[in-house]
A and B are shown apart, each in its own frame.
Chain A
Amino acid sequence: MRPQWKTAVGLLAAAGALAVAACSSGSGTNTAADTPLNLPPASAFKTGTCATIATPVLAIGRFTHDKAKAETLTVEDRKFLVDNGELVKAELAKADKALSDQMLEMLVSIGFVRIQIGKTYKPELLAEVENQRTKLQTMCTN
């Protein structure tokens, strides 16, 4: 793939992630984090498994930012997390051990959010998702 095409694909992927994340956060209440969102482009992800999981990883990053102050999550939020988590999970077998371990850490943190959506939800659970997602992103972009 030529570099300009990679950039274009990356931009399209990022735009798609933005669109998915936007759809998942339809509430009028501002639940976003106070700090500005700062995500790398998908093109910054290393080739291979990292590039393949860039879109869901970035989408989850926007989600955790937009929902950082939310006091509860919805059924739609859960579906968003499941759908993007499945995209990451599908690539586990192809990743090397260090990468797959970190992918699992993020998936487990998502699992704890999913199992406690609703009355038992706590924002700290999503903060842990972001913590593990950031580690995965760093691993994929450095």
Chain B
Amino acid sequence: MALIRRRIMTAAVAVAITAIGLTALGPGVGQTSSHREAPLISGDPQRDNTDTYAFVSPDNPDTVTLIANWLPFSEPNGGPNFYKFAENTAYDINVDNDGDARADVVYRWWFFDNYRSRNTFLYNTGQVTTLDDPDLNFFQTYRLEVITKSGTNTLVRRGRVAPSFTGRASMPNYAALSNAAITMLPGGGKTVAGQFDDPFALDLRVFDLLYGADFSEIGQDTLKGFNVNSVAIQVPKSAVALRGDAGRNPVIGVWSTTSSPRVRVLESDGDQTQFGGYQQVSRLGMPLVNEVVIPVGKKDEFNASKPVDDAKFLKFVTDPEVARLVQAIYWIPAPATPRNDLVAVFLTGICNGCPGPVQVDLNAHRLNQDADPAKIKPSEMQRLNMSIAPSPTENRLGVIGGDLAGYPNGRRLGDDIVDISLRVVEGVLLPGHPAAVEGLSDGVDSNNVPFRTAFPYLALPNMDAVNTQ
């Protein structure tokens, strides 16, 4: 591993319910951060997938942890209905372990609303001390399924979602509620669903600052104080590895998706009817892809697309708009195209013989000994080499910072995606890049609150009003 690290460093320095629904959503027929990234999904926050994470569990390295988030910009005091997952919606974390750009393992959460009383406007009618507390008026339950080519198995039949944190008076020990929602899985592993702090940290004013060409105030974490709804699952590596053998086949591709009923009819009594099968409406693998790589005319299509069809988006990776904008505004020349370095990072993974200047075996499906090279297709997803041990001291810059256990080898909660992406897009992996590229940053280096050291690692949800911070 040290050799790989040295070679990477050398190169860096020199250079995704019903039987009908299930049929439509099964693996094999298969399917950035990205807060409000596309026109259609920005109007549907319950299904708007913001980020996906995949990493070897630091405190349990025989397992891998997969996390996906929804409901961007959840202000902590957004009552009285607060924040819930949508019903009749498939929340999926997809795993491709053979590189054919189709899901081989899908973890799918279905959520259900429960009211103890519909004769009050209150989320909770008193202090809530347990998940079963009768004062918790509204709560959600979920069913977790794992779908493989051999069929669908229910892992959790009626799990409890950790409620929205409605206040310290209402929930004096929220940590206990959240931790009680962690559910053990048959065959090993655990899962949780609920509200957490948004782990992404960045200055989103970049969209204004870019055109103002004034980065003088960068460094404010736009997402500080906001929450998201998350699903997290920790499973043995063998559960997701090709042929169950993480030793021979350590690389997995991961993306999350949300799928919604195609037709919704609003009834005159306030009820609604949904039918027509399911349509994928959100997709997230590598962070920032749909946000700043895919043009607005293709964003909704990307959210509905499957990795197996990613060839149609190739040109946006090989000739990225961001680099051209930086050149036009800041006079910093865009690296020469086609950007094979970006093809490797976003579409194939990095390996000896993969496209691009970094010729080391890091995280390409090609590294799986039982994968058929002829069936491997370039596609956008996070690629994680599970054989790389977690770093005792994480470097926020991940691989380009010499820490091979970080982004773009999967993605950890603390990886500084904006700094890494900005540097990579400006050519840090290319030989002869300007030294100043290695210092590019949005000025936000870490999350506003520390991550936890045990599953699900996410920080507990914020409670203080965002406009008081």
Contacts and interface: CB of A to CB of B under 8 A. Distances in A.
B268 interface: no
B331 interface: yes
A89 B327 CA distance: 13
Interface in A108-123: 108-112, 114-120, 122
Interface stretch (A1-9, A42-50, A60-68, A74-82): A74-82
Contacts of B443: 118-120
A107 interface: yes
Nearest to A76: B216
A120 B422 CA distance: 13
B218 A110 contact: no
B336 interface: no
A73 B216 CA distance: 8
Given A119-B443, A120-B441, A125-B436, A108 B219 contact: no
B434 interface: yes
A128 interface: yes
Given A89-B331, A108-B331, A111-B332, A75 B214 contact: yes
A71 B219 CA distance: 16
Interface in A80-137: 82, 85, 89, 104, 107-112, 114-120, 122, 125, 128
A116 B215 contact: yes
Number of chain A interface residues as a range: 20 to 34
Contact of A116 (B213, B333, B434, B440): B440
Contacts of B215: 114-118, 120
Given A78-B213, A82-B213, A104-B331, 15 more contacts: A85-B331, A108-B434, A109-B436, A111-B326, A112-B436, A114-B213, A114-B215, A115-B330, A115-B332, A116-B441, A119-B443, A120-B215, A120-B439, A122-B439, A125-B436
Interface of A: 73-75, 78, 82, 85, 89, 104, 107-112, 114-120, 122, 125, 128
26 contacts: A74-B216, A75-B214, A78-B216, A89-B331, A109-B436, A111-B326, A111-B331, A112-B330, A112-B332, A112-B434, A114-B215, A115-B215, A115-B332, A116-B439, A116-B440, A117-B214, A118-B218, A118-B219, A119-B443, A120-B218, A120-B219, A120-B440, A120-B443, A125-B436, A125-B439, A128-B436
